[in-house]
Chain A
């Protein structure tokens, strides 16, 4: 069956541009997570959805970051006015429940120039 997919896989943005990163979770998974992974580091939690409800957004680094999951399936992470420090791999993961294992997508590598 299909796993978690993310698009685009690679994104180069000029500083100041807005970007939108898409995540298609595994069908039926209620929980969806976004992480930011800097080079040589572990994933850092950004935000968490249960169905369409955003239950935790405490990891979003600034108000330039916004995530949505309007129909409880596909999710979009939007970054406004990108800065160089936003360069990282953005990972999406879904799971069938709160304490169940997460299934990760391949990530979107964002490079801000």
Chain B
């Protein structure tokens, strides 16, 4: 059965520092992976996806994610965090249906 795990409930990063939000997955076939962000009182917004091709995927707002097949991971990264990046981030995997992780709350400290 497919599954996705976000091992950190919360990540705190100082503004200007690099950030990483972790995601690992388990699927039976080829993984299709997504990151979404949820700002307070707003709907989920698409950030980026991996379907095939380059392992490093670039997305919205300067975010990127690296697909690592051997580690079954798809960690979200940004070289320099902004306070406005503070939000709830969800990793999702699609096999026969889409499964979302529980979410990681990212706090960027000024």
A interface residue numbers (CB < 8 A to B): 3-4, 33, 35, 40-45, 48, 56, 58-59, 91, 93, 99, 101-107
* Nearest neighbor of B32 in chain A, beta-carbon distance: A99
Most buried by B among A3, A48, A58, A99: A99
Instruction: List residues of chain B with CB within 8 A of the CB of A48.
Output: 97
Within B52-110, the residues touching A (CB, 8 Å) are 90, 92, 94, 96-103
Report the nearest B residue to A41, measured CB to CB: B102
A45 to B99 CA separation, bound complex (whole angstroms): 7
A99 to B92, CA, bound (A): 12
- In the complex, chain A residues whose CB is within 8 Å of the CB of B94: 99
B interface SS class: strand
13 contacts between A and B (CB under 8 A): A35-B100, A40-B102, A41-B102, A42-B90, A43-B90, A45-B98, A45-B100, A56-B96, A59-B97, A91-B44, A102-B46, A104-B45, A106-B43
Is the pair B44, A58 in contact by a Cβ cutoff of 8 Å?
Answer: no
- Chain A residues near B51 (CB-CB < 8 A): 99
B 19-52 contacts with A by CB, 8 A: 32, 34, 36, 42-46, 49, 51
A49–B46 Cα distance when bound, in Å, is 20
Question: How many Å lie between the Cα of A103 and that of B34 in the bound state?
Answer: 12
Q: Do residues A104 and B103 form an inter-chain contact, with CB atoms below 8 A?
A: no
**Given A41-B103, A43-B90, A101-B49, A107 contacting B43 (CB threshold 8 A):** yes
Q: Is the CB of B46 within 8 A of A43?
A: no
From A4, A35, A43, residue with most partner B Cβ within 10 Å? A43
Assess the A104–B44 pair: CB atoms within 8 A. Answer: yes
Measured between alpha carbons, how far is A74 from B58 in the docked complex, in Å?
Answer: 33
In the complex, given contacts A91-B44, A93-B44, A106-B43, what are 13 additional A-B residue pairs having Cβ atoms less than 8 angstroms apart? Answer: A33-B98, A41-B102, A44-B100, A45-B99, A56-B96, A58-B97, A59-B97, A99-B32, A99-B49, A99-B94, A104-B44, A104-B45, A106-B42
- Which residues of chain B have C-beta atoms less than 8 A from A107's C-beta? 43
Cβ of A77 to closest chain B Cβ, rounded Å: 16
